[in-house]
Amino acid sequence: MKYQIRCKKCGKVVGDFATWFQQDQQCACGSTYAEVEYFDLPSFPPQAKETDSFQDLYFDFLPIEKRENIVSFGEGMVAIERWAHLEKAAREAGVNCEVYVCRNDQNQGSGTFKDISAALAASVLKEQGVKDYCLASTGNAGTAFATYLAKAGVHFTQFAPSFMDDDSTEAIKRVGQKVVLSKGGYGDAKAEAAAFHKEHKVLISGGNTDPLRIESKRTLVFECLRQMGCMPTVYMQAVAGGTSPLAFEKGFRDLLAMCSEKNYTLPRMVLVQQDECDPMVTAWEKATAAGFPEGWEQQYEAKKNMHTRIGILTAANPGNYPLVAPLVKRTDGTFIRVKEAELPEYGRRMLQEQGVLMGPASMVCYAGFFEALRKGTIRNGDKVLLNTGEGCERSQWFKKEVLG
């Protein structure tokens, strides 16, 4: 066996994914927060090979026992490009830095950075003989999981908020999977998924701290070294639940375990939300103003009167804030707010300067870069990585607004 799963609360070893699933994805202590540990991670980097699958390249670094169980559409091995026009914008702001963009819109499954999570989940579920799976999602995760689980032969049910876009709904139905639209919001969809899981004994996604999601997304750390030749000093992304920052930190710890002689530093985390759904930013601003008193990370509120049109960034109740915010603080990072109404203009700028059009969640990150420049968050000598979210094919409303 390559790995084991350890509870983050009590420290007990649960076993492998077979045991984890049998125990309803929780430790005997009741905690659902656990991490994968590897018995003998090989030296980094992995042996070079021609492949378009992150699971194939990083097989020895992932909790899959047999390559024959890999489920892939050629995801994960996307370009990390250096964008000159962003570096020019930085110089005009008086900052000399390098700027890299992780092109998740180039993923071959659903065109989002959820594809690598869905790919690893499908592979592990296939290996463990799981036949039914469900989750609640605002769009991206549901579409990605529907696509990959269909290929793995796993029946999938997505519980979605009433406002989920029609493009995502149709994409899920197109691959023969089921969508259940709630009459309410994302919180209602999550409650309905939990009830379905309990009543029908169907395995459910573990959410933002699900080790299946964490283990896949942590490979971005390895890709930074493979493609950039170094670690970024600033990591930026739009954030809803916050899985990716936690995964990046987990990948960084695994990297140090493999390359202890290297002097790597965890980048400053700069996380971005749009003003129409910004509960993490609001909580961070209050904590900053109060000087981060004891227990500050537990002080957050759900966003009320939410009017965002970016369905995949609608985590109004930031339940992961107590985990994500301390990581941001520890790295000397911050949370940034951008104006949702300005995103189409940023879309036009990206299209004009780079010839690329991404979806609105990706544009939150892109706009966040310019806001970070205005705030002085980016410094001379920084190597900035923008981890974009998705392409524009399932956001036709945004595409129309950008193109006029």
Say if residues 179 and 169 touch (Cβ distance below 8 Å).
yes
Q: Which amino acid is at 275?
A: D
How many Å apart are CA 109 and CA 122, to the nearest integer? 12
- Please state the pTM of the whole predicted model: 0.94
pLDDT at residue 97, rounded to an integer: 98
DSSP 8-state assignment for residue 2: -
How many Å apart are CA 328 and CA 267, to the nearest integer? 10
Numbered ranges of CATH 3.40.50.1100 in the chain = 80-109+212-403
Quickly tell me which residue has 């995964």 as its tokens.
247
Say if residues 328 and 284 touch (Cβ distance below 8 Å).
yes
Q: Which amino acid is at 90?
A: A
What would the two tokens of residue 14 be?
């649960």
- The strand pair at 3-7 and 34-38 is best described as antiparallel
pLDDT at residue 393, rounded to an integer: 83
How many Å apart are CA 374 and CA 379, to the nearest integer? 11
Give Cβ neighbours of residue 63 (< 8 Å, ≥ 6 apart).
Answer: 2, 3, 16, 17, 36, 38, 120, 124, 211, 215
Neighbours of 200 (CB within 10 A): 10
pLDDT at residue 222, rounded to an integer: 94
Say if residues 106 and 75 touch (Cβ distance below 8 Å).
no
Backbone angles phi, psi at 132, to 5 degrees: -135, 145
Quickly tell me which residue has 């995949």 as its tokens.
312
How many Å apart are CA 240 and CA 186, to the nearest integer? 12
| Four-residue CA torsion sign, 335, 341, 342, 347 | positive
- H helical segments located in 165-242: 166-174, 186-200, 211-217, 219-223
What would the two tokens of residue 108 be?
């071959």
Looking at CATH, the fold of the domain delimited by 80-109+212-403 is given as Rossmann fold (3.40.50)
Neighbours of 13 (CB within 10 A): 13
From first to last of the 404 residues of the chain, give the pLDDT tens digit: 899 999 999 999 999 999 999 999 999 999 999 999 999 888 887 877 888 889 999 999 999 999 999 999 989 889 999 999 999 999 999 999 999 999 999 888 888 888 999 999 999 999 999 999 999 988 888 999 999 999 999 999 999 988 887 888 998 999 999 999 998 888 889 999 999 999 999 999 988 899 999 999 999 999 999 999 999 999 999 999 899 999 999 999 999 988 866 789 999 999 999 999 999 999 999 999 999 999 999 999 998 888 899 878 888 889 899 999 999 999 999 999 999 999 999 999 999 999 999 999 999 999 999 999 999 999 999 999 999 988 888 788 999 999 98
| Segment (H or E) for 140 | helix 140-152
pLDDT at residue 261, rounded to an integer: 65
Residue-wise DSSP of 247-280:
HHHHHHHHHHHH-TTS---PPEEEEEEETTS-HH
- H helical segments located in 259-357: 279-289, 321-330, 343-354
Q: Which amino acid is at 329?
A: K
CA distances to 231, 352, 367, 380 from 87, in Å: 18, 15, 14, 11
Burial label for 392, CB within 10 Å (0-12, 13-18, 19+), is: buried
Q: Which amino acid is at 78?
A: V
| Segment (H or E) for 99 | strand 98-102
Say if residues 213 and 121 touch (Cβ distance below 8 Å).
yes
pLDDT at residue 304, rounded to an integer: 84
